Amino acid sequence: MYEGWGRNRHKKEQVETYQNEVTLLVREARPSFWRPDGQIIVEYEFYLFRDIDCTNAIKVIEDAIATALRPEDKLYDRRFLPRAMFKEAGHRDAHVRITLEDL
């Protein structure tokens, strides 16, 4: 996710690009009745090209979701309750299916 050390540490360009794409998709998909002010269940289904550490991917995606839902609140992702429901490698069309549910 990151390159460099100390003050030179920065997010990889590919991660930044992916987060921006996720943010746009979440903004487009957000239903009009969405008003998440409590805890939010975030379910993940990973259809991967190759196997990965899902916890790293979840953090990247949660940061993007938080930006989409409440850009003014940088700590908004503390409300998330992540659930990795499925993971499978070997897909040519790799993607992550995300379901949000506010409690």
Q: Residue 60: which CATH number?
A: 3.30.1330
How many structural domains is the chain composed of? 1
Domain that holds residue 79: 2-102
Find the mean pLDDT for residues 20-24. Answer: 94
Residues 64, 56: Cα–Cα separation, whole Å:
13
The torsion defined by the Cα of 50, 19, 21 and 76, in degrees rounded to 10, comes to 130
* pLDDT greater than 70 at residue 31: no
Q: Give 48-103 pLDDT, tens digit per residue.
A: 999 999 998 999 999 999 888 887 877 788 889 999 999 999 999 999 999 988 87
Long-range contacts of 69-77 (CB under 8 A, 24+ apart): 69/26, 69/30, 69/34, 69/36, 70/36
Could you tell me which residue, 38 or 59, shows the higher pLDDT? 59
- Nearest partner of 80 among 90, 70, 93, judged by Cα: 70
pLDDT of the residue at 103: 79
Find the mean pLDDT for residues 8-36. Answer: 82
